[in-house]
């Protein structure tokens, strides 16, 4: 009999009785994410909560009615062990009412003027009455999840008699890099959740649970296919499958977007070399955005899509980047390419999202981080009003530590949409525990110094009324693994992305603690131990793999294994004289793309943040910090300390055995062991490279 078999038998024997710790629990696999509605051990609190929910009245005349009923039923069975009693009419006996507000309702004035999706929660602790009201169905869904979030965290309902919430951002979007063959580009949690060969009518509980999770954190748009788009997604037989997905997501307030291939109208024999793996799906010999036949083709395709999906969100386009076809193939600008789609989508209420990730033949080969600014800054003000320019958070490529893109602040007449990466492409995949909330908060709080705008942080620019339409996108980390994200702690980054997309000015520490409480435990000691594991994980990862902002130190194919020698000379350079990349005026001049005040800060090693030091500067190994420590010594010291941190993290988690359900606890242990092995190899590679470089 194996030890694993004995463990499983022991768990099954103990389950009916609960296990040690402050909260009894069942065997879990992470599928529930942060939507765990566990019984309340505190009888007094359970009775208090239950007194608010003796009956429920819903005034929702749409498919959102079923969404709210199902979620409340699931939550009540978990919290109280019983189903809610739904009343047919509103009466004095109803404790919870969820209604679409009318102009004659008492709380209407608090709702009037809120952005779409806003809601009002009013709690009368004397009468034990709760009212959730909104002007839209989506607002009622969000308000319901907000209320359940309070219950999950065991918050006293009387503390906040009035809660008024609205999203600060219009489009809160996931970009899924899922392919029609079921693979996921840069996906580390299994295959695609969309089974394209079997997207038939019927029950798709996995997709329903995906929609529930996204609605619970305010995500309202999903581009369901890879930005390296296969044109076949636009074929009628696949659009019918997309319609079925849209039908599942619609009640949760989620609009479907599709990534479109610029050369889709072309016949296979005429498509550019980069398209040969697919071929176009049309009959044309060009995809020139100014060609009338191309315009007609896209007009008919867009009308076909809206005929199937009336609330279709629009297209996401990656063009003239990494070999993808685009308008520059015909001597046209990005604006001309984007506006082709935007003008055709506009009558339907559609949006065109155009990626500003443009590495290709047009690049300034001296330093390709300059290319996005060079190509898009001259086009500011040339895009249609329903175009969102999707800009990666940094100028290079989702690096663990790189400065915000200078396009934020430079494009004053264009709708900008930050693109964050939730999936851990350069952050250890689903092997490493790396919490990203702090990175995103630092990004949103960066002051662009945009002229005539105060304040001018990226959060302010994204949410400003001066931008006609706002959005935030995140590259998803979701797959068909049972726990969705491969690593249980990677769920935190999905959760934090949604909550920060709703409000980019939110405090990531508070949101992380909220996630911990809902996902792991309501016990304060356990929660603090988990927060200590998470809070410095990104800093230690940076020390290990991209010290002082040294970008791209991993292999070309997987972006996981150490590869210092093969990367030396492309994004940075190292020899016996020093290490880094001179992007000041004496080097590539990239620093001059920033506002003069930020340029001044970045161009001097003494004032440049340590996190970006080697991104902007080539420095000698004996460069001294103010405390007298040299660059070489600090790099090696922090490298060693990062390993010690991982061992400490491993030990902290082990101490939580018995406080966390056994399956998830054991699965995290296994991930941590793999992380420690991989990190040990990386640390050794960095140390060897530094010593080799400094002894030549």
Q: Distance (Å, rounded) from C-alpha 407 to C-alpha 390? A: 10
Neighbours of 343 (CB within 10 A): 16
Task: Report H helices in 491-604.
Answer: 491-502, 508-519, 524-535, 537-545, 564-567, 596-603
Is the Cβ–Cβ distance between 340 and 283 less than 8 Å? no
Residue tagged active-site, from 425, 460, 481, 514: 425
Q: Whole-angstrom Cα distance, residue 455 to residue 447?
A: 8
Rounded CA-CA distance 693/696 in Å is 6
Exactly one of 397, 539, 543, 582 is catalytic; which is it? 397
Residue with tokens 């029609």: 180
> Taking a C-beta distance cutoff of 8 angstroms, is the pair 390, 355 a contact?
yes
Beta-carbon contacts of residue 366 (< 8 Å; ≥ 6 apart): 588
Catalytic residue flag (residue 543): no
DSSP-derived secondary structure letter, 403: P
Distance CA(560)–CA(554), nearest Å, equals 5
Strand order in the sheet with 573-575: 573-575, 578-580, 618-619
Helix, strand or coil, per DSSP, at residue 581: coil
Partners of 131 in the β-ladder: 97, 122
Sign of CA dihedral 543, 546, 547, 549: negative
Whether 124 sits among the annotated catalytic residues: the reply is: no
CA 589 to chain centroid, in Å, comes to: 31
Spatial separation of the C-alpha atoms in residues 553 and 605, rounded to whole Å: 22
264 to 230, 326, 388, 423, 569: CA distances (angstroms): 8, 11, 21, 28, 37
Tell me, yes or no, if 322 is annotated catalytic. yes
E strand map for 281-386? 314-317, 351-355
Selected catalytic residue, list 42, 300, 322, 629:
322
DSSP category for residue 328: G
CA distance 557 to 456: 38
Q: What are the residue numbers of the active site?
A: 322, 397, 425
């Amino acid at each position: 009999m194996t030890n694993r078999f004995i463990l499983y038998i022991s768990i099954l024997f103990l389950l009916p009785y609960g296990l040690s710790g402050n909260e009894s629990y069942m065997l879990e696999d992470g599928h529930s994410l942060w939507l765990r509605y566990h019984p309340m051990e505190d009888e007094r609190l359970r009775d208090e909560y239950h007194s608010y929910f003796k009956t429920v009245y819903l005034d929702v005349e749409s498919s959102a009615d079923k969404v709210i009923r199902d979620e409340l039923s699931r939550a009540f069975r978990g919290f109280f062990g019983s189903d809610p009693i739904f009343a047919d009419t509103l009466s004095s006996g109803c404790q919870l009412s969820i209604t679409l507000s009318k102009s004659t309702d008492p709380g209407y004035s608090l709702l009037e003027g809120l952005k779409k999706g806003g809601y009002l929660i009013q709690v009368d602790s004397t009468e034990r009455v709760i009212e959730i009201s909104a002007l839209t169905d989506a607002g009622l869904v969000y308000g319901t999840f907000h209320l359940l979030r309070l219950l999950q965290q065991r918050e006293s309902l009387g503390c906040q008699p009035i809660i008024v919430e609205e999203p600060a951002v219009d489009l809160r979007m996931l970009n899924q890099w899922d392919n029609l063959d079921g693979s996921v580009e840069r996906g580390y949690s299994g295959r695609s959740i969309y089974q394209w060969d079997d997207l038939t009518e019927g029950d798709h509980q996995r997709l329903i649970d995906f929609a529930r999770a996204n609605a619970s954190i305010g995500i309202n748009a999903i581009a369901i296919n890879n930005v390296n788009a296969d044109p076949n997604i636009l074929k009628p037989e696949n659009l019918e499958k997309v319609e079925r997905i849209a039908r599942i997501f619609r009640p949760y307030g989620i609009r479907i977007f599709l990534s479109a291939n610029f050369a889709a109208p072309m016949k296979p024999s005429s498509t550019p070399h980069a398209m040969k793996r697919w071929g176009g799906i049309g009959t044309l010999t060009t995809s020139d955005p100014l060609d009338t036949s191309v315009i007609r083709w896209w007009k008919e395709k867009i009308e076909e899509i809206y005929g199937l999906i009336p609330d279709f969100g629009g297209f996401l386009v990656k063009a003239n980047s990494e070999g993808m076809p685009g308008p520059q193939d015909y001597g046209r600008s990005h604006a001309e390419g984007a506006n082709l789609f935007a003008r055709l989508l506009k009558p339907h209420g559609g949006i065109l999202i155009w990626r500003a990730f443009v590495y290709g033949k047009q690049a300034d080969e001296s330093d390709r981080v300059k290319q996005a600014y060079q190509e898009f800054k001259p086009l500011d003000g040339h895009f249609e009003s329903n175009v969102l320019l999707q800009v990666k958070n940094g100028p290079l490529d989702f690096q663990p530590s790189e400065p915000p893109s200078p396009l934020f602040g430079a494009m004053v007449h264009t709708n900008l949409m930050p693109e964050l990466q939730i999936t851990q492409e350069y952050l250890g995949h689903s092997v490493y525990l790396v919490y990203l909330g702090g990175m995103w908060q630092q990004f949103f709080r960066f002051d662009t110094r945009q002229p005539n705008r105060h304040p001018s942080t990226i959060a302010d620019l994204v949410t400003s009324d001066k931008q006609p339409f706002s959005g935030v996108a995140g590259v998803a980390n979701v797959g068909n693994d049972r726990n969705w994200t491969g690593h249980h702690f990677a769920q935190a980054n999905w959760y934090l992305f949604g909550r920060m997309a709703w409000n980019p000015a939110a405090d990531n520490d508070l949101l992380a603690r909220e996630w911990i409480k809902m996902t792991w435990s309501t016990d304060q000691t356990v929660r603090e131990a988990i927060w200590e594991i998470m809070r410095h994980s990104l800093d230690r990862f940076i020390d290990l793999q991209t010290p002082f902002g040294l970008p791209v130190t991993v292999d070309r194919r997987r972006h996981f294994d150490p590869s210092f020698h093969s990367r030396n000379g492309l994004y940075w350079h190292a020899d016996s004289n020093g290490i880094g990349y001179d992007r000041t005026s004496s080097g590539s001049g990239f620093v001059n793309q920033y506002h003069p005040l930020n340029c001044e800060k970045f161009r001097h090693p003494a004032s440049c943040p340590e996190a970006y030091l080697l991104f902007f500067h080539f420095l000698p190994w004996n460069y001294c910090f103010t405390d007298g420590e040299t660059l070489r010594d600090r790099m090696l010291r922090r490298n060693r300390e990062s390993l010690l941190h991982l061992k400490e993290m491993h030990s902290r988690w082990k101490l939580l055995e018995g406080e966390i359900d056994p399956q998830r606890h054991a699965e995290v242990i296994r991930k941590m062991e793999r992380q420690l092995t991989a990190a040990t190899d990386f640390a050794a590679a960095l140390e060897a490279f530094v010593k080799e470089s400094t002894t030549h």
